Chains A and B, each alone.
Chain A
């Protein structure tokens, strides 16, 4: 009886998958589940919470700071992603040409990506410093401004300053991924297009862009996810200030949960990010990634 079961393909398969399944359950699902669970409790540091249903979310919806953080996060993500895409694509197109020292230049472009974020965030903090900013100093010397700029002291300036830092950090990822995508496009397609009478712009518009769309979809999904959940840059440069104007959902969640001790509230903020992230993934998956021309046909 037992031996018959053990010879069954499906039973055996299930058995072999158990260890891996258990690992996934313990290390992936448990933390995620715990975080979500906390969001529905009034847990505080040192006190196990009790189930409070949607109370946390109701409170946060009425909370000015949380609303501001939501706005900041969306603004930060949208602006940074658009600029990263535009500059990343431009850089990728440049790097795709036959440059002198091609591999060296490509390696240089990756630098912002390989520097630890905490370190580059410190550098930006210094760059934006009210008294010692190199940017202010240069502009003063050039006679363009007459007073040091307080990059991190004024809400909108601080928002754009942190966005700039995020863009600097995120461009290499976008550029290198798009470059990889560009290199899968056969040069003979461009030659055929040139013979068909396409101008350089038309070649980009009708050959490069449509063929790059699947890669763009994947890269930008990741880029949006990374940006939306950004924490390190903000935490090092501004800690959410001034006047909470650079607080993102992730930093606010950390502040409320760990610094403030309201684990339940912090977890609820973090949980509230999930629907936005899912929406971003779905848009890219159904809107951009799947193309009819990529499907069908067994003969390559």
Chain B
């Protein structure tokens, strides 16, 4: 089993006049599953292609398995990549698609067959080995693309949005399968996606990128619990976090946020701001509870969406729309006023200007 850490140090990249990657540094440990996530155009795919050697590195350094690969050809980097459109050779049978790299390397036929058969068994492709890609369904093609990567037994797997061409149900199934395969092979993997749920469910480490910069990286739940800024807070989690803009004031009963519309809420624990500072209070829909009397703040119900497992409620606080998710079933009517109480231990406070989290660095 070959394994390797990947280190990306202060990497920059320009396309013409556009600064696409702006000083990115990421460390990925041996056997780790790292997910690069961000909106389209954030540079995550470019970064992946730079690791693969398909895109030149502007400045900075990329290291795979202890070797700086800046000047290495893709084939010398000992990596395998799964493309978004699978990039299967249409004129080759599944077997030859998977064996192509070993055929080029002039490996003995017996070894090639053994490795192809082994990978086919792992992925359940044994019956499809003599078919052409055209004769396969989308999910099967995806699997062949995986198989082509697995037979190589590379130091690092690179995935470029591999599930985005599949339908929703298959995507969830393949997600689980990919995670299983990774747990079995323990090969270092870098996975690019724009889907934060894929990132949350699969990653050991999530790297959130925007405009060529790493906004935050860490374990999935770290990002969920302690987002470093407004962007990460809004990007991770579904439905997205509610943001209530307001002003920080020290009242008699302690520090509070005076939210627009006359609502006064206690600040989240472990945060610090100065008197009168413009802040944004963040509360995830699942961290809003129903309150009675004068608890929390009043909101006027707009839409109720029961999903069976839980109830999603969209309501208005002044001009701001707020989402809440309850485990119980509720039968609110549109226009009805309900009281929502944020869980003070799980709310977040951000500076309105910089968007940075105001959590104490402890």
Interface residues of A (CB under 8 A from B): 186, 188-189, 191-198, 202, 206-207, 210-211, 291-297, 299-300
Contacts and interface: CB of A to CB of B under 8 A. Distances in A.
A191 B87 contact: yes
Contacts of B73: 194
B151 to A, nearest CB: 10
The 9 lowest CB-CB distance pairs between A and B, nearest first, are A196-B101, A197-B75, A297-B134, A188-B87, A297-B135, A192-B87, A293-B132, A210-B91, A293-B91
Interface in B266-314: none
B54 A296 contact: no
Interface residues of B, number: 29
B52 interface: yes
Interface string B96-124: 00001100110000000000000000000
Contacts of A292: 132
A195 B52 contact: yes
B75 A191 contact: no
A294 B134 contact: yes
Contacts of A193: 89, 100
B116 to A, nearest CB: 14
Interface stretch (B5-13, B76-84, B213-221, B321-329): B76-84
B138 interface: yes
B196 to A, nearest CB: 25
B136 interface: yes
Interface of B: 52-54, 73-75, 79-81, 83-85, 87, 89-92, 100-101, 104-105, 132-138, 148
A188 B145 CA distance: 12
Please indicate which of the listed interface residues A186, A197, A296 has the most CB atoms of chain B within 10 Å of its own CB: A197
* A206, A210, A293, A296 — most chain B CB neighbours (10 Å): A293
Given A191-B74, A195-B54, A196-B75, 12 more contacts: A188-B87, A191-B83, A192-B83, A192-B89, A193-B100, A194-B73, A194-B75, A195-B75, A198-B104, A202-B104, A293-B90, A295-B134
Contacts of B105: 197
A282 B101 CA distance: 36
A300 B137 CA distance: 8
Contacts of B87: 186, 188-189, 191-192
16 contacts: A186-B87, A191-B74, A192-B83, A192-B87, A195-B52, A195-B101, A197-B75, A202-B104, A291-B91, A292-B132, A293-B91, A293-B132, A294-B90, A296-B132, A299-B136, A299-B138
B134 A296 contact: yes
Contact of B54 (A191, A206, A210, A297): A191
B136 A196 contact: no
B80 A297 contact: no
A143 to B, nearest CB: 47
Contacts of A295: 134
A202 B84 CA distance: 23
Contact of B85 (A188, A195, A293, A297): A188
Nearest to A211: B91
B51 to A, nearest CB: 11
Contact of B74 (A194, A206, A297): A194
Nearest to A190: B87
A297 B138 CA distance: 11
A296 B74 contact: no
Contacts of B75: 194-198
Contacts of A293: 90-92, 132-134
B138 A189 contact: no
Contacts of A210: 91
Contact of A296 (B79, B135, B138): B135
B102 to A, nearest CB: 9
Contacts of B74: 191, 194-195
Nearest to A187: B87
B133 to A, nearest CB: 8
B357 to A, nearest CB: 39
B122 to A, nearest CB: 19
A194 B90 CA distance: 16
A7 to B, nearest CB: 42
A186 B87 CA distance: 8
Contacts of A189: 87, 89
Nearest to B52: A195
A197 B132 CA distance: 22
Nearest to B139: A299
Given A210-B91, A291-B91, A197 B134 contact: no
A194 B83 CA distance: 13
Contacts of B92: 293
A251 B83 CA distance: 55
Contacts of A192: 81, 83, 87, 89, 148
Contact of B104 (A186, A196, A211): A196
A296 B136 CA distance: 9
A297 B132 contact: yes
A188 B74 CA distance: 13
Contacts of A188: 83-85, 87
A152 B85 CA distance: 56
Nearest to B136: A297
Contacts of B52: 191, 195
A186 B134 contact: no
B80 A195 contact: yes
A70 to B, nearest CB: 38
Interface centre among A186, A193, A195, A211 (most CB of B within 10 A): A195
A141 B135 CA distance: 63
Nearest to A295: B134
Contacts of B132: 292-293, 296-297
Contacts of B90: 211, 293-294
A36 B234 CA distance: 79
A211 B92 CA distance: 10
A9 B34 CA distance: 63
A202 B135 CA distance: 26
A297 B83 CA distance: 21
A195 B91 contact: no
A207 B89 contact: yes
